[in-house]
Amino acid sequence: MTVAGRFLKRQAALLLVVFLSLLTFLAQYALRGLDDNRLTSWRWCFQDGTAATVFSWIAVGALLAYCLAVAAVRLRHRAVALFLLAFGMTCLFWREPEVILDASRYFTQAKHLEVYGIRYFLEEWGRGIEAWTDMPLVPFLYGLIFRAFGESRIVIQAFTSLLFALTCVLTYRVGCELWDEDTGFYGGAFLLGMPYLYSQTPLMLVDVASAFFLLFAVLTFLRALKRGGLSVLCAGAAIFLAFYSKYSTWPMLSVCAIAAFVFVLVEAGRERKKVILRTLLAAAISASLIGAVFLYKFGVFSDQIRLLIGYQKPGLGRWGESFTSTFLFQMHPFITLLALFSAVAALRKKDPRYVIVAWLVVLLVALQIRRSRYSIPVFPMLALSASYGLCRLRDARVRRCIVACVVTSSLAVAFFAYLPFLRGLSAVNIQRAGAFLNGLKGRDVEVFSLASADPVVDPSVNVPLLDIFTHKRILYDYRGGLPQKERERIAGSSLRFTVEYRNPKYYLPPPQQGKDPAVAVLSDTAMDVLPGYVSKRLEGYRQVKVFDGDEGIFRYRTCVRVFERVVSEAEGRAR
């Protein structure tokens, strides 16, 4: 083939990628009714002309991808580029409110450490500090951050963005350890092609952090198998951290056993004996660390495991989402298709190392983990499998164009569809109320939470969420709670933890509180009638602001009414 013929063939391939990128979005939009995600379903996110805006930006991104491919841009410092790109892109989403109620638990646990110290946290976690089915590592880290930098949501968001950016870098490093730099780099970049991750990174949850710790354990274990020495100690410590980041990482840590098995098969002679010895040493170190903590909190972990087996595991079938949603809408379909192609390519090539990255994806499907949020720790390995498939394509320009199209289109979906939708949820009322309270005089705000006639959650869970967004000292004395019948009904839902909420002592009014604090009333709607004890407390107060935006989709909603004391003319002159 002539030079001109090769040039035209390459241009045709690049234009085909661009065309397929645009066509993919149109197909997703047309089939959006299949997306049953419980937070960022395309059925909800694409309304009022959003699709036209997103499509326009996808077209711009596809044009940019074509130009980058033609220019044959090469990055010298790939890890640095991945880190900066990932961190910068997630910063765009810090305006998102706390849209998942689980954040209330993690904030409360972290604040206990901030207020009472590390020793109290270690002793009371699971007793005085309600742990539900949470692992202690991530709330412990959040508490340390609060203690060091002050109680600010933005420092937590910076931390989670940092962990996500490092996860992209770790994905790159794992790809390098198993294959080569291209596979690793494209794998790290593919993590930026999953719009769902942009909606999760700004939240005070543990899923992004658990993905980081799991992948860190995988990378250090791979290096321990190859190099030995200090890497074995690091691998043992990393597995320990991943173990206590989230319960869902327990079965996922089996990937280390798969990696050891693969390395024993591919290594020969004396190296095989070294690999076995390094595996046993890493396992012994991690088991010792894990066992020490487990024995210290044996009663807590036993209760949690019983709750997981008896309540959450059966409940996942009712609260789950389809794989169609996770693999075709919450990530770019190119990633899923390339991952499927990679399995065929690995079989043809008889590459045993592919089993390491494929294992977690197989485990996800086999265990029927049908919840996008619980699948996040698997996403890096899925990205690497897609990258493995991508690298089977010979033309580097085509590969770069595909990756750039995936990243730019996913960012467009997340920023112009997901973010506006999430900022329109009623959860934003708490975020805006917190900002408004920060502008009022005085240091205290007294909070009341009211339950509706047909509650979806115990409304007291909103108090820590308001605390996240305000610098005021919250005074809250929880009264009564829900009727037993309502508690039993909610106890069968995915929000059972809200009825087991216990008022932290640090919210109780101190002996010397600020004079005439502002009052915030949390309820379902602004039309809820105030009970007698609240009306009596508000004598001499006037309502100054109501935050009651409602997206009209979810049964659970929240409203915040803010009251200030009426100052008489005489008091005003005295001040």
Express each pLDDT in 57-105 by its tens digit: 999 999 999 998 888 777 789 999 999 999 999 999 999 999 999 999 9
Q: What tens digit of pLDDT does each residue of 214-231 get?
A: 999 999 999 999 999 999
Length of the chain: 575
pLDDT of residue 551: 87
Structural tokens at position 522: 């949390």
pLDDT of residue 546: 96
Residue 292 and residue 233: Cα distance in Å, rounded?
A: 16
Q: What tens digit of pLDDT does each residue of 394-430 get?
A: 899 999 999 999 999 999 999 999 999 999 999 999 9
Q: In what order do the strands lie in the sheet with 559-565?
A: 473-475, 444-449, 518-523, 559-565, 541-547
Phi, psi of 446 (to 5 degrees): -90, 135
* Residue type, position 192, single letter: L
* 308: DSSP letter: I
Give the side-chain half-sphere CA count within 13 A for 547: 23
Helix (H, G, I), strand (E, B) or coil at 505: helix
Structure-model confidence comparison of residues 531 and 140, the more confident one: 140
Q: What tens digit of pLDDT does each residue of 264-301 get?
A: 988 766 688 899 999 999 999 999 999 999 999 999 99
pLDDT band (50, 70, 90) for residue 474: very high
Q: Which of 123, 110, 210 is nearest to 150 (CA)?
A: 110
Q: What tens digit of pLDDT does each residue of 327-380 get?
A: 999 999 999 999 999 999 999 999 999 999 999 999 999 998 888 999 999 999
Residue 135 and residue 159: Cα distance in Å, rounded?
A: 18
Give the side-chain half-sphere CA count within 13 A for 65: 30
Which residue is associated with the tokens 């990633």? 335
DSSP secondary structure string for all residues of 45-80: HS-TTHHHHHHHHHHHHHHHHHHHHHHT---S-HHH
Structural tokens at position 543: 């309502």
Structural tokens at position 91: 């910063």
Are 131 and 109 spatial neighbours (Cβ–Cβ below 8 Å)? yes
* Residue type, position 128, single letter: G
Q: Which of 287, 178, 172, 184 is nearest to 235 (CA)?
A: 287
pLDDT of residue 468: 96
Phi, psi of 63 (to 5 degrees): -65, -40
Are 249 and 211 spatial neighbours (Cβ–Cβ below 8 Å)? no
